[in-house]
């Protein structure tokens, strides 16, 4: 058996209503002056209030930074760090979607180590230490609460990542009640994002692709495939929401150790240049990348097809099952009410060449793709998605 390394969050708490017990769960970890990093939408919805009430009742001082935006910028990270530094924060809590959790990871690193962010970009360059860190997701998609990666937008459009086990949190708190209010489109896009994580982890060409990641990816696809439509169209179904949140986390554990590839590489220029949400960016290119990859990994797609779509179990022929799997993923956004084509999100045909060039800059992702991707390949994939 090939050797591998598997890292994940040391403590994961999955419980409906857990957010109201944050002080009991995490107070001994984050200390007595906590920087909470979130976005203004979370505050307006009141989702943060039970956590703040829990901490203040326990005597913990809470400083809230709520300026995180979608595809968070380096300026936002800098502002969060300055807020924490001025307050003398003893710990960080990230509360929200993947953007808030990613900012919290980087802020905890910079507050704890004073490392120059320019030296932390890339794989294994974070030096640490970091401040104590707790992550609480409010969407079921990124799995950021169990991944050692944070993605930040630099210079307006370029995505850069910090990738290191050092930024895994001390505790992840998963409370499915926090996801009940997610709008249908957000539920759909983040759910497909989680499915992409599982699919790319299972087929990753990374030398660290391993049996644990494969097992988690398949279980994630079962949960996500079974629950995504119910979560979208019956948003207050707690069983469906719980399945999506757990599936997202399992997919996060899978790709945290068996990294994602060309779907994400081609999605980043869509989000970075056109401000399309990350999950939707992935959904727009997913079937087109899978068709490209099928020449190399058709057997792997056939293995997981029925995990996501149980009806495909009856397809005995490998090629037919793979084709049916890709087609099912191609029509899923339509069934869930999402745009299907790049043109539907304001991207013109003239934009595609630059997007292909930008996608090829994502070398840390493309190295994991099971089939080599050239600039011409990327352009052809974008054209098929346009």
Which has the closest alpha carbon to 355: 157, 73, 200, 122? 157
Residue-wise DSSP of 176-223? GGGGTT--HHHHHHHHHHHHHHHHHHHH---TT--HHHHHHHHHHHHH
- Residue ranges of domains in the chain, CATH in brackets: 11-178 (3.40.50.1970), 180-385 (1.20.1090.10)
The count of other CB atoms within 10 Å of the CB of residue 2 is: 8
Q: What is the mean pLDDT of residues 131-154?
A: 95
| Model confidence at 156: pLDDT above 80 | no
| pLDDT of amino acid 220 | 98
Give the DSSP H/E element, type plus range, for residue 279. helix 278-308
pTM of this structure: 0.95
pLDDT in tens, 325-369: 999 999 999 999 999 999 999 999 999 999 999 999 999 899 999
pLDDT in tens, 286-300: 999 999 999 999 999
pLDDT in tens, 172-227: 999 999 999 899 999 999 999 999 999 999 999 999 999 999 999 999 999 999 99
Percent with pLDDT over 90 in the chain:
93
Return mean pLDDT, the chain. 96
The count of other CB atoms within 10 Å of the CB of residue 233 is: 15
């Amino acid at each position: 058996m090939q050797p591998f390394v598997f890292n994940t969050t040391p403590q994961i708490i999955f419980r409906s209503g857990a957010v109201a017990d944050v002080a009991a769960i995490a107070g001994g970890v984050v200390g007595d002056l906590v920087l909470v990093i979130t976005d203004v939408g979370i505050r307006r919805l009141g989702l943060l209030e039970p956590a703040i009430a829990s901490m203040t009742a326990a005597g913990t001082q809470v400083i809230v930074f709520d300026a995180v935006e979608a595809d968070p910028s380096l300026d936002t990270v800098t502002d969060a760090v300055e807020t924490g530094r001025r307050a003398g924060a003893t710990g960080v809590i990230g509360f929200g979607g993947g953007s808030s959790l990613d900012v919290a990871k980087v802020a905890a690193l910079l507050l704890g180590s004073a490392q120059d962010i320019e030296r932390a970009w890339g794989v294994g360059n974070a030096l640490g230490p970091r401040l104590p860190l707790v992550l609480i997701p409010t969407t079921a998609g990124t799995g950021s609460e169990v991944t050692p990666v944070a993605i930040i937008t630099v210079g307006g459009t370029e995505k850069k990542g910090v990738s290191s086990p050092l930024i895994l949190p001390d505790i992840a708190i998963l409370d499915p009640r926090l996801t009940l209010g997610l709008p249908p489109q957000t539920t759909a896009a983040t759910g497909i994002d989680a499915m992409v994580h599982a699919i790319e982890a299972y087929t990753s060409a990374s030398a660290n692709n391993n049996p644990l990641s494969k097992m988690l990816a398949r279980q994630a696809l079962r949960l996500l495939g079974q629950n995504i439509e119910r979560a979208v169209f019956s948003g207050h179904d707690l069983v469906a929401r719980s399945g999506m949140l757990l599936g997202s986390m399992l997919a996060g554990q899978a790709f945290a150790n068996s990294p994602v590839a060309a779907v994400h590489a081609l999605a980043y220029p869509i989000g970075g240049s056109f401000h399309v949400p990350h999950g939707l960016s992935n959904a727009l290119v997913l079937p087109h990348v899978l068709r490209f990859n099928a020449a190399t990994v058709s057997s792997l797609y056939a293995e997981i097809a029925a995990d996501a779509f149980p009806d495909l179990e009856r397809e005995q022929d490998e090629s037919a099952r793979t084709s049916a799997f890709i087609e099912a993923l191609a029509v899923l956004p339509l069934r869930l009410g999402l745009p299907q084509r790049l043109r539907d999100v304001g991207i013109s045909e003239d934009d595609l060449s630059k997007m292909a060039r930008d996608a090829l800059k994502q070398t840390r992702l493309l190295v994991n793709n099971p089939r080599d991707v050239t600039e011409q390949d990327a352009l052809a994939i974008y054209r098929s998605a346009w």
